[in-house]
Amino acid sequence: MELINIQDVNVRYKNGVNAIHDLSLKIKKGDFVFVIGGSGSGKSTFIKMLYREIKPSSGKIILGGLNVAKLRNSKVYKLRRKLGVVFQDYRLLPKLTVYENVAFALECVGADKKEIRQKSLKALELVGLKNKTRQYPDQLAGGEQQRVAIARAIVNNPKLLICDEPTGNLDPERSMEIVKLLDSINKTMGTTIIMATHDEIIVNKMKKRVITLKDGYLISDEEKGKYYEGI
């Protein structure tokens, strides 16, 4: 079943730069997709379009039945409730505990206290941090902080998890642990995962679908793909 349908999308910035050219692709529910590309490839623009930080200049982005490209700013929250986003720099709230950081995502959508507690603890258990609920972000290692960020992103059981260079600040061992955790979430929860990365080792080892962008063009889209050498 299709989750994302991107049709003839172009992105032209106000400075005249064309970041995305005639992009069309489909992503099924339950897919795990790597998005790769060098600097200026359009990778970041592509990721930001999915959670509507950037609007395309033309074309359609249908995500879970919503036309993201046409969505009014006042309705963006409807899209954001369908997805979770994990960033390279974690973006945790430093004055909140691990538990509070995760619970905050549910408080924002008006969940009741019982639901918040159950879902937050379940998400933290899933990422292996149920024993760190009372610690603060600065008491955790980088890999642990990213696990908290992942727990926060999945706590509301989103259809789609968007990961923007989630291993960019981690060493190779921690990076692989994070990707294996994402793979587990994909398999056990059925969450569709789109992960932008420049980590050649991870891409080649995981053998997932690989979408390659270069100069704003889609140049490769392969099931069980490898890191494209030409970028």
Q: Is 89 helix (H, G, I), strand (E, B) or coil?
A: coil
Phi, psi (5° rounding) for residue 214?
A: -150, 125
Q: Write down the pLDDT at residue 173.
A: 96
CATH superfamily of the domain spanning 28-56+68-82+158-231: P-loop containing nucleotide triphosphate hydrolases (3.40.50.300)
Q: Is the pTM of this model over 0.85?
A: yes
Q: Domain spans of the chain?
A: 28-56+68-82+158-231, 93-157
- Which residue, chain included where needed, has tokens 């019982």? 114
* Cβ 149 vs Cβ 163: under 8 Å: no
Work out the number of other CB atoms within 10 angstroms of the CB of residue 61.
23
Q: How confident is the model over 185-216, as pLDDT tens digits?
A: 999 999 999 999 999 999 999 999 999 999 99
Strand (E) or helix (H) holding 25? strand 18-28
User: How is residue 48 written in tokens?
Assistant: 């930001």
Residue numbers of the chain with a pLDDT score lower than 50 = none
Q: Is 92 helix (H, G, I), strand (E, B) or coil?
A: coil
Q: How confident is the model over 87-121, as pLDDT tens digits?
A: 999 999 999 999 999 999 999 888 999 999 999 99
Distance CA 178, CA 167 (A): 7
* Residues 92, 97, 98: CA angle, nearest 5 degrees: 65
127: region left, alpha or beta (phi > 0 left; psi from -120 to 50 alpha): alpha
